[in-house]
Amino acid sequence: MKARQKRIILVSLGLVGVLVAAGLLTQALQSNIAYSFGPSQVIAGEAPKDRLFRLAGMVKKDSIQRGKDLTSEFVVTDNANEVVVRYTGILPDLFKEGQGTVAKGRLAADGSFKAEEVLAKHDESYMPPEAMEAMQKGKQISANEIQAAASSAK
């Protein structure tokens, strides 16, 4: 083999190696991504049914029910729609009703959300960006539904 042919083979093998590494990296990153959805989006069917995602919104007042064996059930709302969340584990100290929260998990067969992790806001003025976005979308949906109902009544 000539030196030129050896270089072409070496460069080709190098490119194949880089492409394989890039493909593996992309696959690993995609499997760890958890997109955020609000309750209205979950109810509308926009959230994946078979993948991990984050549910963001506010914990509805008087909705926290604590069971035995560290199981909890509560409702997350965006003031337009609500989703029941079930979680087994210790809830954060700052987790309470009327506060913003982000829960990471999957949809269950019954339409509830089975959380693997629950996060709570950490001070009086902070709200997770996902929860703020979900609340804003919920308000937009409510306002649009009110306008649509008013215009159809005319």
Burial of 139 (0-12, 13-18, 19+ CB in 10 A): middle
- Residues 48-99: tens digit of each pLDDT: 888 889 998 889 999 999 988 889 999 999 888 999 999 999 988 888 888 8
Distances (CA, A) of 140 to 12, 16, 42, 71, 135: 54, 49, 16, 33, 9
Cβ atoms of 119 and 92 within 8 Å: the answer is: yes
pLDDT confidence of residue 14: 94
pLDDT at 118: 92
Encode pLDDT of 99-141 as tens digits.
889 999 999 988 899 999 999 866 555 566 766 777 777 666 5
Q: How far apart are CA 14 and CA 103, in angstroms?
A: 43
Q: What would the pLDDT profile of 31-49 be if each residue is shown by its tens digit?
A: 777 788 889 888 888 888 8
Mean pLDDT of 4-22: 94
pTM across the whole model: 0.64
